[in-house]
Amino acid sequence: MSSPFRSRPAPQGTLRLFRFKGIDVFLHWSWAVVAVIDLQTRHNEYRSPIWNVAEYLSLFAIVLLHEFGHAFACRSTGGRADTILLWPLGGVAYVNPPFRPKAWLWGIAAGPLVNVALIPVTFAASWYFGVEHAVRPTDFQRFVSTVTFINLALLIFNMLPIYPLDGGQIVMSILWFFVPFERALSISAYVGMAGAAVGLAFAIHWGNYWMVAIALYAAWNCWRGIQLAESIRQMRRLNEPSYARRGL
């Protein structure tokens, strides 16, 4: 996921992990809490608990590569990207691309394209190590199969047309080619709100509290998007020609 707003320092409660190519990577403290919960709930998946740790670190690595895809793509368009935050609901690359639809579209699409590039790699590994035909898979084979699934699931989830997921922001960027920015943002945010409501209903029905949190987070961001679009629309009515750059 990317946040197409001006880069800013990471919020409180984070740990700076490292800096790469001028991009600071921060980890929110809650990531460790979720890691402990995940390791406990999935402790029966492997014979050795070390593979549970390896699985979670692989999720960490895939999300991080995804966010670097956003950041480097933004820079390639002349934009600014210097902060990545990892937290329980995924990752956020704080980017500030040039204010034009083509630049935004490329900066957003580059993240999912990283997952697309990983698909042949993970499937090739599954085939090479005989994961699909293993009667009693080893821990390593289970690990390879799970990493393959994680990458594919993250791609599918991120491409849902629900703002602020990448899919929703891609829809917004495409609409921006044909309508003003605030109109594109408003449409994608309302569509995302409907999608979040459907997701929330299913999450409650299934009793999946993790998905409930994600749906509520998506709905909150959609509401922020709707408010932002309305603010920009009002500024446009006041005939302020530089409304967009000042507003964002």
Distance of CA 158 to the CA centre of its chain: 6
CA distance 115 to 103: 20
> Residue 15: which region, alpha, beta or left (left: phi > 0; alpha: psi -120 to 50)?
beta
Beta strand 80-87 with 23-28 is parallel
Per-residue pLDDT of the chain (248 residues; tens, 9 = 90+): 656 544 455 567 788 889 999 999 998 887 777 777 777 777 677 888 888 888 888 988 999 999 999 999 999 999 999 999 988 777 888 999 999 999 999 999 999 999 999 999 999 998 888 777 777 888 888 899 999 999 999 999 899 888 888 999 999 999 999 999 999 999 999 999 999 999 899 988 888 887 888 889 889 999 999 999 999 888 877 765 554 555 44
CA angle (86, 87, 93) in 5-degree steps: 40
- Residue partners of 178: CB distance under 8 A and separation at least 6: 184
pTM listed for this prediction:
0.84
